[in-house]
Amino acid sequence: MIELRAVNVATPAVLGEVRGERVWSGIAKRPVASADTLWLSLLNLAGDGQADLTVHGGTDKAVYAYPSEHLPAWRGELADDLGPAPFGENLSTGGALEPDVRIGDLWSWGDAVLQIAQPRWPCFKLALHRQRPDVQQRMRQNGRTGWYLRVLEPGEVPAAGPITVARPDPAGITVRDAHLAMADVHLDDRARVEAVAAHPALASQWRDPLVDRLERR
């Protein structure tokens, strides 16, 4: 069982400015009341949204989960109390980490069914949100990425949880495996990159660069 410690949502707002241009984002999320029940559609939790749909959101990134177990390490590294939903996560979870969670795992939450689709590869908006230019690279290096889920069956979901693993994916490709494959630009472990790229549940946004890399080398 996955412990659900908080459910967080936000609609897009101005996050800051880059080279004089306003940057909009839905990353600054806030927790909903634990007694709340929300509608989870194929694209979003009710009350949630993304600004740039070319790289955020969509069916393969409908929900972002982040392990709360990582937060003490981040507090030490960033010397920051972090606050709610510090990395823009929809779900603050307990009891599951990147080496345990598999691409293709099915999660049951209320009336909804979700499937793990890919790790996170953060963009500049995370650095802007945290006011730390190094946080993007830190997350890519340490692998404390969290993961995105697609919604297979929409439905009403309770903010208090619980979430259960309805079916562990039999291929055994973990979120950590997928992260390491993306970081493996020189194909030092080609077999792992091939295995990750071949997984049918992997999001196309993650698979396509891996396939391109394999075809070029």
pLDDT in tens, 49-83: 887 777 778 999 999 999 999 999 999 999 889 99
Token output for 193: 């990159």
Give dist(CA 120, CA 55) in Å, integer: 11
Task: Give the chain's length.
Answer: 217
Spell out the alpha helix ranges (H) of 52-144.
Answer: 71-78, 124-130, 135-142
Q: How many C-beta neighbours within 10 Å does residue 45 have?
A: 23
Taking the whole predicted model, whether its pTM rises above 0.85 is answered as yes
Query: What tokens appear for 153 in the block?
Result: 């069956």
- Sequence-distant (≥ 6) Cβ neighbours of residue 53 within 8 angstroms: none
Instruction: Give the Cα separation of 192 and 172 in Å (integer).
Output: 12
Tens-place pLDDT, residues 87-139? 999 999 999 999 999 999 999 999 999 999 999 998 888 988 998 999 999 99
Q: pLDDT class for 186, splitting at 50, 70, 90?
A: very high
Nearest by Cα to 95 from 66, 138, 63, 116: 66
Question: Strand, helix or coil at 60?
Answer: helix
pLDDT in tens, 137-155: 999 999 999 999 999 999 9
pLDDT band at 21 (very low <50, low <70, confident <90, very high): confident
Which two three-digit tokens encode residue 178?
């997928």
Q: Tell me the H-state helices in the chain.
A: 71-78, 124-130, 135-142, 175-183, 190-197, 204-216
Mean pLDDT of 170-193: 98
Q: pLDDT grade, residue 217 (50/70/90)?
A: confident
- Please report, rounded to a whole number, the percentage of residues in the chain having pLDDT higher than 90: 83
Q: Residue 36 pLDDT > 80, yes or no?
A: yes
Q: Are 118 and 103 in contact (CB under 8 A)?
A: yes
The two counts, helices (H) then strands (E), for the chain are: 6, 12
CA atoms within 13 A on the CB side of 166: 15
DSSP SS3 for 205: helix
Give the integer Cα–Cα distance in Å for 189 and 111. 40
